[in-house]
Amino acid sequence: MAFVATSDAARAKVFYRDTLGLRLIREDRFALVFDADGTMLRVTTVPEVVAASYTVLGWQVPNIVQTAKRLQKAGVTLARYPGMKQDARGVWSSPGGAKVAWFKDPDGNTLSVTQF
């Protein structure tokens, strides 16, 4: 089970369900519950989100370029970080060969996709 916070459940539901394509399992006044490829993701409603300065959720993807294109087509901006050599889309190639792209949810939580 994974957790992430939101201060606006309606906005988070649109992002995680419609933009990222996760299946909404249930919702109540405490949380939205999604199926994130077999892992339960609880998007917990809180009065104020204090976004971490690091990645809080990530997904392994088979093709980072296709995933980056799909995210960008859905209106998601891939993050750029000073000092990191990222390609034109915003994908970083790690020294070990993994390719990573970061983006933020509507509450400012940093999310990522990685192709190993």
User: Tell me, what CATH number does 81's domain have?
Assistant: 3.10.180.10
- The pLDDT tens digits of the residues spanning 42-59 come to 999 999 999 999 999 999
The letter for the amino acid at 69 is K
Mean pLDDT of the chain: 97
Counting every residue, how long is the chain? 116
For 80-100, the pLDDT digits (tens) are 999 999 999 999 999 999 999
pTM for the whole structure = 0.94
pLDDT band at 29 (very low <50, low <70, confident <90, very high): very high
Both structure tokens of 77: 């901006």
pLDDT in tens, 4-16: 999 999 999 999 9
Backbone angles phi, psi at 33, to 5 degrees: -120, 125
Q: What is the residue-wise DSSP string for 36-92?
A: ETTEEEEEEE-SS----SSEEEEEE-S-HHHHHHHHHHTTPPBP--TT--B-TTS-E
pLDDT of residue 86: 97
27-59: b or e for each residue (b if 16 or more CB lie within 10 Å)?
beeebbbbeeeeeebbbebeeebeeeeeeebee
Count the domains in the chain.
1
Structural domain boundaries enclosing 70: 2-115
